[in-house]
Structure 1
Amino acid sequence: MQEPISTQFEIADPPRDGISSLVFNPLDSNQLLVSSWDSTVRLYDIEQNRQLLRFDHEGAVLDVCFGDGQVAYSGGIAKKLTMLDLATNTTKLLGSHEEAIRSICWNTETQNVYTGSWDKTLKVWDPRLEEKKAEIKKVILPQKVFSMDTKNNILVVAMANRQVHVYDVRNMDAPLYTRETSLKYMLKSIRCMPNGEGYACASIEGRVALEFFDTSEESQAKKYAFKSHRQTINDTEVVYPVNTLAFHPTHGTFASGGSDCVVSIWDGVHRKRIRQFPRFPDEISSLAFSPDGKTLAIASSYTYDEGERDHSPDAIYIRTLSETDCRPRAAVNSSN
């Protein structure tokens, strides 16, 4: 039986300015939430290819995440953390930072929201409490936050100066580990492995690093970094930022998107690239796998690496994945 060929289509009515974040509803693979520099958060039904909801904000929205059920959280340049009720199309202000909110995470274990800001703080919020009471913890950090992610009881925070803090969300008084990544330049994205064993982080230097939480010599021997998102132009190697990472929910492989307008799928365990999709019209600013693992959402959106320049319209592509697009290379080989 021949496997289905992966297909792709473009989402109708995309944001009008840079797309900052894509995230699927963890309980519904048809619902995609999108934040943008056009000061909106939009909810799409990808099966019907239509916009379901739109929330307008005071300024550019830099990140968005789903919470429990039909609730989401957004933040950005306006410095405010907003709770979005998707069932009633209403909003609730939970609180604010002193500078822009760069990254937002929802942790299912604690039922809390975590925000990382350019004001060099990490805050913990209990959304069940009213404004001015919802902030339950403030952690002073050494640098600005660039990216965060959480899995089980672990929260990872990527900051300026290539620093990564790893927290146990059950005790946020101090980080479990403080690490300086092996990557030599500014971090862009950090994502936890689905099995909870570690994380991947990406940087502006066209490299991705895999790190592991277990401090044993055996586990630490598995960590490594590799080159990606590079092209040879006129006999010169051009290096592009890796803007975004996303792990497949079941296979444990991951996708990377770069300013070379390319999306690649990697088998981190076997250190191989599985797939590279045809180039997109513009830089890849965000990626998200659906919870059932059958779909990859791709934001093709200029990230202003080169300042103001002409660029393609911002677009969101939905790619239906074939059976072998994301399976680990060893598993693919064994089935041939």
Structure 2
Amino acid sequence: MGRPTEIKLNNPPADVISSVKFGPDSNQYLISSSWDGTVRFYDVVNNSLRQKFVHDVPVLDVAFVDIVHAVSGSLEGQLKLFDVNTHTESVVGSHDMAVRCVEYVDKVNGILSGSWDKTIKLWDVRDKQCVGTYEQSNGKVYSMSVKEEKIVVATSDRKVLIWDLRNMAQYMMKRESSLKYQTRSIRIYPNKEGYVMSSIEGRVAVEYFDPDPEVQKKKFAFKCHRNKEDNMETIYPVNAISFHNVYNTFATGGSDGFVNIWDGFNKKRLCQFHQYDTSIASLHFSNDGSTLAIACSYLDEFETPPPTAHDPTIYVRYVNDQETKPK
């Protein structure tokens, strides 16, 4: 018997899933954060919940620091560090409002947090000290992505700020989103040539960092996660984006319950998986691109669940080259 293409994890969160992420260089360990106030550590290979930490408030994002430590950001603005081995937790620091995004920054052994208080902060992991606070124009931080020295931040006022970790005195660039509606997700290409962002209005934009006009000609946006029936088009938010680190292709997940894989450079959809029970809330490829975590749950803060809302679920899908490699 071969391994199944997809498994459903036991012990999923009880409320909206805000984030799922694989451990560094691992497709065995996965963390999730949820509006039920939990941070959960899964052993995917054995389909078991290894550890569960509980906040008193919804957790909006989580990230691995290393294979046994994770950091989370909550609705009350607190940043917490968890140790799976010792089952202990500590407070790293806080923002004045909810922490929407957290990322571990390997290059400086730091934690980057983005908040609705319109700032991002950089924290020293060892000393649990804030080493920098950076204003994000006039917008709440809605999504953030870090790749080595590059940081992109998408804000509530449809701006995109591009930062360089080596010089945080001032952002490198500030751009208007090329999508007309609110940003849901932004992610940097693994090759650092640009970024991809999505909106609540069924669109995705592929953008390039290089301001050269010839390079900028290559940027484009496309419609996706839409459904047409009887001349009526239903448009769904595109909630999640995750890159395949090897092939530079990316997955999108929408409130239509579908996951699509795209080749952005060649403007092609490579495949679409089966329809899931409910909205795709978060996606994350493992570092080697072999495995995709798919979190399904209604997004409370934006949507009204239907009378028969499905329980939150996390699927782990083992993908192949035919689904993820450019043709």
Calculate the TM-score normalised by the size of structure 2.
Answer: 0.96
The CA distance in 2 between the partners of 1:86 and 1:27, in whole Å, is: 17
Within the candidate set 271, 292, 297, 1:296 is matched to 292
Query: Which range moved further: 15-24 or 208-217?
Result: 208-217
Name the counterpart of 2:158: 162
**Are residues 1:56 and 2:54 paired?**
yes
Name the counterpart of 2:21: 23
Name the counterpart of 1:79: 77
Paired amino acid for 2:227 = Q
Name the counterpart of 2:187: 191
Using the aligned pairs only, state the percent identity. Answer: 43
**Are residues 1:207 and 2:186 paired?**
no
The CA distance in 2 between the partners of 1:103 and 1:290, in whole Å, is: 19
The CA distance in 1 between the partners of 2:114 and 2:173, in whole Å, is: 17
Tell me: CA distance 1:5–1:58, structure 2 relative to 1, closer, same or farther (3 Å): closer
Paired amino acid for 1:235 = N
- Partner SS, residue 214 of structure 2: helix
Structure 1 residue 140, shift from structure 2 partner: 1.8
- For residues 145-180 of structure 1, the C-alpha deviation after alignment (integer angstroms, 9 at most, x for no partner) is 000010010011010121000000122121100001
Name the counterpart of 2:92: 94
Within the candidate set 120, 124, 127, 1:126 is matched to 124
- For residues 261-292 of structure 1, the C-alpha deviation after alignment (integer angstroms, 9 at most, x for no partner) is 11000010110100001100000000011112
Name the counterpart of 1:334: none
Structure 1 residue 69, shift from structure 2 partner: 4.3
Name the counterpart of 2:35: 37
Within the candidate set 106, 109, 121, 1:108 is matched to 106
- Given that 1:296 and 1:320 are in contact with CA atoms closer than 8 Å, whether structure 2 keeps it comes out as yes
Name the counterpart of 1:147: 143
Name the counterpart of 1:263: 259
Name the counterpart of 1:332: none
Within the candidate set 110, 133, 137, 2:132 is matched to 137
- Given that 1:244 and 1:256 are in contact with CA atoms closer than 8 Å, whether structure 2 keeps it comes out as yes
- For residues 192-243 of structure 1, the C-alpha deviation after alignment (integer angstroms, 9 at most, x for no partner) is 1011111100000100001111111222111111111000022111110000
Paired amino acid for 1:178 = K
- Given that 1:6 and 1:322 are in contact with CA atoms closer than 8 Å, whether structure 2 keeps it comes out as no
**What does 1:216-255 align with in structure 2 at a 5 Å threshold?**
216-255=212-251
- Given that 1:58 and 1:78 are in contact with CA atoms closer than 8 Å, whether structure 2 keeps it comes out as no
- Partner SS, residue 219 of structure 1: helix
- Given that 1:104 and 1:115 are in contact with CA atoms closer than 8 Å, whether structure 2 keeps it comes out as yes
- Given that 1:253 and 1:267 are in contact with CA atoms closer than 8 Å, whether structure 2 keeps it comes out as yes
- For residues 44-76 of structure 1, the C-alpha deviation after alignment (integer angstroms, 9 at most, x for no partner) is 011100001111112100000111342211011
Paired amino acid for 2:115 = S
The CA distance in 2 between the partners of 1:264 and 1:202, in whole Å, is: 13
- Given that 1:6 and 1:321 are in contact with CA atoms closer than 8 Å, whether structure 2 keeps it comes out as no
Matched pairs, number: 323
Structure 1 residue 6, shift from structure 2 partner: 7.2
Within the candidate set 165, 178, 190, 2:174 is matched to 178
Paired amino acid for 2:276 = F
The CA distance in 2 between the partners of 1:173 and 1:114, in whole Å, is: 16
Structure 1 residue 323, shift from structure 2 partner: 2.5
Paired amino acid for 1:102 = R
Structure 1 residue 306, shift from structure 2 partner: 3.3
- Partner SS, residue 157 of structure 2: helix
- Given that 2:183 and 2:198 are in contact with CA atoms closer than 8 Å, whether structure 1 keeps it comes out as yes
Name the counterpart of 2:322: 324
Tell me: CA distance 1:201–1:279, structure 2 relative to 1, closer, same or farther (3 Å): same
Paired amino acid for 2:78 = K
Structure 2 gap segments, 5+ residues each: none
Within the candidate set 300, 305, 314, 2:312 is matched to 314
- Partner SS, residue 153 of structure 2: strand
Structure 1 stretches (4+) deviating beyond 4 angstroms?
none
Structure 1 gap segments, 5+ residues each: 330-336
Paired amino acid for 1:144 = K
Query: Which range moved further: 298-307 or 206-215?
Result: 298-307
- Partner SS, residue 161 of structure 1: coil
Paired amino acid for 2:130 = E
Tell me: CA distance 1:5–1:54, structure 2 relative to 1, closer, same or farther (3 Å): closer
- For residues 73-99 of structure 1, the C-alpha deviation after alignment (integer angstroms, 9 at most, x for no partner) is 101112101111122221110111111
- Given that 1:188 and 1:203 are in contact with CA atoms closer than 8 Å, whether structure 2 keeps it comes out as yes
- Partner SS, residue 323 of structure 2: coil
- Given that 2:25 and 2:286 are in contact with CA atoms closer than 8 Å, whether structure 1 keeps it comes out as no
